[in-house]
Structure 1
């Protein structure tokens, strides 16, 4: 879509919407208020769905009018970027007001939440995990109806990463002892559910999947990994176990279903970040071992480090450089962005920029209420992506 990357990487993967929510766009005010009313029991689920449908149709047109083919639904049906998978699985129980001690102590937001005197809702496995119904498939099917038939293959569906709740709670609290005796059992059932969802998405016509995996960047943060070690955990071993889980989830995917993995350091309500540090500690393992086609990488601030780790990206994989901020309304200089792209290409040994692209560093609304940026400022950022792409490659 932006770069003439090799044929083994579908150019439609290269989307402007990146982040804990790649594809997450600011919600219209009416939708935000409707979701609040629904949560308060004042609006029916059907009424909310009708408004979601209308808003999604509008935002797809908005994206296509700007020139993007890899459109998403803006994640307008979600509270948070990771909704849609776990909450549809049998054996998973919603915990609206959990005790804070069930959250892993290394999580940077635990202390912040504790200081404010409230907890965060979560999900734990209280029984065997089974996928007994589609999760993201109905959302994709509606989204696919909004584009011409020949464009459906470019439509992107965002999925939650499979280790999300395990990393939040670790073995002691991610599942009950009655449900699972070990991480291996727990991960095996999650992978089975994940593969089934990918298979049904494929059958529905989906060829473009984005997995939002911000957990990986926590392994880049010295503050977080040192806390892990204080708890008796080995970050290197845990990362290895997660990579094995990812590949188990993806092992049956069809060759023409392109998979991207997004790494983000946090983009919560108001643009809060949680992790710092370059990709150096994880680059060789993550880029070399995870069986995906492209990595969406946050690179908009100094806390993300240098481009040097990109030397570990194999020649059959691409990267999307998140050089444009979705948190800061100030518009970047296109020439500066292009200069940064050239630096990254040099680090990859890809001077013709055939394996890189450009994007926002994250979604505009990982949380349904969004970041401190206006619709007009968001539109300007997206137009900047188009401007840069045309200046570098002459086409989108």
Structure 2
């Protein structure tokens, strides 16, 4: 299989989702920092040391789109709402504050939910400081000047706390409705994207497992029982995206990552193919590419890719970041070939080669969506990344 280089988004055929396993020295230092046993400068020094090494791991594996592994975070969604003025931390929030139809909330409820830290909007939302610019600049020092445009920054989805809390998400004396609430969130994202661009960032990935939850029968059923219109809510979230995405510069790539959960024991939280949301996902959200979980049957078939328009691309997560067993390259190639063949049967007339040119390959999720990381070794992670690049080279001539 081969394809001429018409591919624009994302920059490379072999991708990874963003988070990588943190070394023990970094985990230990963060524990010490949380206990106030070391200074911010001492923590930063260990973060820098660890990031420099993980950049080398990516290079050695043949991954050209570089990230800092999210080594300066505890959770993948850190960064926005914990830095946004008007948000208030609620420690050990009771179950009554959460929507139990949200799959990951329900998953923790099964495990004797006794409260969890969360963020609620209690005042007008304003971005008074950058969210991720410091992390971008922190990684820039470890890459070559020509690699700076290849840095990928992963950011939190705009509806993260809204879905989890529903009517509890914001104080109705501050915002009368969702439209007012998301208008200020969109303004904050526009400002952040502008500052990231000014710093040299050209590649952003928005991590949004919540959109995949709209494919889960369990959540749709729970919403219906509570009188929530799931289609209307999905439309609200799409509008929230499109209130800030069109403002990005033309030479900045923004991708959207969907998965079904990636907790430390390899647990997922939802199931269901993209069929329920494919038309809106691929045609109404103004992003350039989609990072899609496709390593197990819970993600469904490739049929929804028929709705991917010709000017966008999909990064197929056919390699697991949870299981230590290495996938077979020939099987991976067959799956990518199957996806491209499926796309030729869609509403747009395209050849198999043209369809293939809209695709890339990656793991289905990160290797450490939370600080502890998945239950695989550093060595296996490196082999998985190498497998991504080796498979891409066998499929695409421009890999």
> 1:268, CA displacement in angstroms?
1.5
1:169-220 superposed Cα distances (whole Å, 9 cap, x missing partner): 01x2111223222111110000000000000000001000000011100000
In structure 1, C-alpha distance between the alignment counterparts of 2:113 and 2:216, rounded to whole Å: 26
> 1:256, CA displacement in angstroms?
0.5
1:324-363 superposed Cα distances (whole Å, 9 cap, x missing partner): 0000111101100000001100111251210001110000
TM-score normalized by the length of structure 1? 0.95
Select 1:391's aligned residue among 387, 390, 394.
394
Give 1:152's aligned residue: 148
Unaligned segments of structure 1, at least 5 residues: none
> 1:14, CA displacement in angstroms?
4.8
User: What aligned pairs does 1:228-267 form with structure 2 within 5 A after superposition?
Assistant: 228-267=223-262
Q: State whether structure 2 residue 375 is matched by structure 1 residue 376.
A: no
User: What aligned pairs does 1:171-320 form with structure 2 within 5 A after superposition?
Assistant: 172-320=167-315
User: What aligned pairs does 1:84-163 form with structure 2 within 5 A after superposition?
Assistant: 84-114=79-109, 115-163=111-159
In structure 1, C-alpha distance between the alignment counterparts of 2:88 and 2:5, rounded to whole Å: 43
Q: Secondary structure at the match of 2:360?
A: strand
In structure 2, C-alpha distance between the alignment counterparts of 1:384 and 1:113, rounded to whole Å: 33
Say if 1:113 and 1:119, in contact at 8 Å, map to a contact too.
no
1:346-387 superposed Cα distances (whole Å, 9 cap, x missing partner): 111251210001110000000100011000111111111111
Give 2:164's aligned residue: 168
Select 1:83's aligned residue among 72, 78, 87.
78
In structure 2, C-alpha distance between the alignment counterparts of 1:366 and 1:191, rounded to whole Å: 24
> 1:68, CA displacement in angstroms?
1.8
Give 2:16's aligned residue: 17
- How many residue pairs get matched? 389
- Structure 1, 334-343 or 65-74: larger mean CA deviation: 65-74
In structure 1, C-alpha distance between the alignment counterparts of 2:63 and 2:156, rounded to whole Å: 23
TM-score normalized by the length of structure 2? 0.94
Give 1:6's aligned residue: 6
In structure 1, C-alpha distance between the alignment counterparts of 2:113 and 2:336, rounded to whole Å: 43
Say if 1:217 and 1:264, in contact at 8 Å, map to a contact too.
yes
Say if 1:310 and 1:344, in contact at 8 Å, map to a contact too.
yes
Q: Secondary structure at the match of 1:121?
A: strand
Give 1:351's aligned residue: 352
1:243-291 superposed Cα distances (whole Å, 9 cap, x missing partner): 1111112121011001100011000122211110000000001101111
Give 1:51's aligned residue: 46
> 1:235, CA displacement in angstroms?
0.8
Say if 1:211 and 1:261, in contact at 8 Å, map to a contact too.
yes
Q: Secondary structure at the match of 1:262?
A: strand
In structure 1, C-alpha distance between the alignment counterparts of 2:367 and 2:386, rounded to whole Å: 14
In structure 1, C-alpha distance between the alignment counterparts of 2:168 and 2:10, rounded to whole Å: 40
Say if 1:298 and 1:362, in contact at 8 Å, map to a contact too.
yes
> 1:85, CA displacement in angstroms?
1.1
| Distance change (3 Å), C-alpha of 1:265 and 1:120 | same
Say if 2:152 and 2:201, in contact at 8 Å, map to a contact too.
yes
Q: State whether structure 2 residue 331 is matched by structure 1 residue 330.
A: no
Give 2:368's aligned residue: 365
Give 2:348's aligned residue: none
